[in-house]
Amino acid sequence: MTRRRVIFVCKDGRRYITEEYSGDRSEYAARGRCLDSCDMDWPEIRDIFQEPATYTQFIKANLRAQAAYHSFRSENGNSGIVRNLRKGREGPYADKILFVYAAPLATGGRIFETNYTCFTPVPGLPYPACTGQGKKPCLECPLRQSFQTAELAQLQAEHNWPRAVHTDGDDAYLIGSQSNQAGLVPVYLFPDCQCALSSETLYPAEEYYRLREILRNDPSAFDDQCDLFRSYPLDWYKELALYAMRCVARTHGSPMAESVHDQSGQTAHDISKAIFEEQDLFDPYTDAAFLAAAERILPWYIRRYVNR
C-alpha cells in the first residue's frame, strides 16, 4: 500500500509536512477491500492541494482531504496537524511525497510528486524537492549531477526542447540529452525515473497548466472550446475532461448522484455530452479506467450513458 505525505513549501523555503495518507480507492479495490463511499482517488487529492498558495489554505486543504479520505492515518488523533520540517532535519517516511509550492514553478504549476529519497531539481525555484537532506544515498545519487543552466538553455535553444513536459499524468523536467538511432534526444526527469523522450511526446507542461487554468475559471469551456481541447494529446484530453468534472463537482459542493437543475447541472450535462457524443478521440464506453474515474465524480451524468 502506497504511503504518501504532502509537503507545503513557503516562498521563503519553510516546509510543512502532513501526516500519512495510505493507499487510495484503486489500491483498495485491487486488494479486494471494501470501499468507503466518500473515499477519493489520488488524482483528486492532488487537485485539492493544487489550489493552496498560503499556509492557511494548505491547512484547510489538508482538513478537506482528511475528511473525504478514509485511509488517512493520524499519528496523534488530531486532524489538520502539519509539522514544521526544519532545514537539515529528516522528514517522516513515505513512499511518495507530494510537494506543493506557494510560488509557481517555471511550468506555471505549483505541485510535484517525487519518491521519498529522490533529489529532483525543480526549475525556477531555489528550494529543490529533496527529502533526503544530504544522507549518503542522496549524495551519491546521479540526479544531483545536474547540468548547468547555461547548458540546458543551449540544448533548449538548439533543439527547441521544452524545459518541462507533461505526459501520462506527470510533469518531467529536461536534465540532459543522449544519442540513439534517431540521433540526439532529450532526457527528462520524471517523479520516479529519468527517460529519453521522442519528439511526439514533447508537449510543454506550461501549456497543460494553461488549459487547466481555463477550466478552473470556467469548466464549461471544455464544451464551449471543444476544438481547442481536442487538438492536444489523448492523455491530456482525458485528464482535462476529469479535471473539468471535478471543477463542476467542487462548485456544486455535494456529490451529483442525481440530476441537478442549476448551472452546475447544465455544465455537467454539457461536459458529459461532449465526451460521450461529440468527440472521436477515444471510445469512453470501453475505457474502463476513465469510466470508473468519471462515474465517481459525476455519478448520475455518467450512469445515464452506461445504464447502471
pLDDT tens profile 115-138: 655 544 444 444 455 554 445 555
- Which residues make Cβ contacts (< 8 Å) with residue 213, sequence separation at least 6? 108
Residue at 201 is within a domain: yes
Domain end among 205, 232, 256: 205
For the chain, the distance separating the N- and C-terminal CA atoms, rounded to the nearest angstrom, is 30
If asked whether residues 285 and 223 sit together in one domain, one would say yes
Binning pLDDT at 50, 70 and 90, where does residue 306 land? confident
Question: Tell me: the pLDDT tens digits for 30-76?
Answer: 766 666 555 677 778 888 888 788 888 898 888 888 877 666 655 55
Please indicate, yes or no, whether the overall pTM of this predicted structure exceeds 0.85. no
Same domain, 38 and 164: no
Instruction: Tell me whether residue 247 is in a domain.
Output: yes
Neighbouring C-beta atoms of residue 106, cutoff 10 Å: 14
Residue 213 lies in a domain: no
How many Cα atoms are found within 13 Å in the side-chain-facing hemisphere of 275? 31
Same domain for 118 and 160, yes or no, is no
Is there a single domain that holds both residue 42 and residue 107? yes
- Contact between 49 and 6 (Cβ < 8 Å): yes
- Domain-ending residue, one of 205, 230, 249: 205
Residue 98: C-alpha distances to residues 110, 282, 294 (Å): 10, 30, 23
User: Are 234 and 200 in contact, with CB atoms under 8 Å apart?
Assistant: no
Q: What are the tens digits of pLDDT across the range 145-170? A: 444 467 788 888 899 998 888 888 87
What is the rounded CA–CA span in Å between residue 263 and residue 259?
Answer: 12
Answer yes or no: is 266 within a domain: yes
- 212 located within any domain: no
Q: Residue 164 sits in which domain range?
A: 146-205
Task: Count CB neighbours of 197 within 10 A.
Answer: 19
Q: How many CB atoms neighbour CB 233 within 10 A?
A: 16
Same domain, 13 and 56: yes
Residues 135 and 159 in one domain: no
Given 89, 107, 139, which residue is the final one in a domain? 139
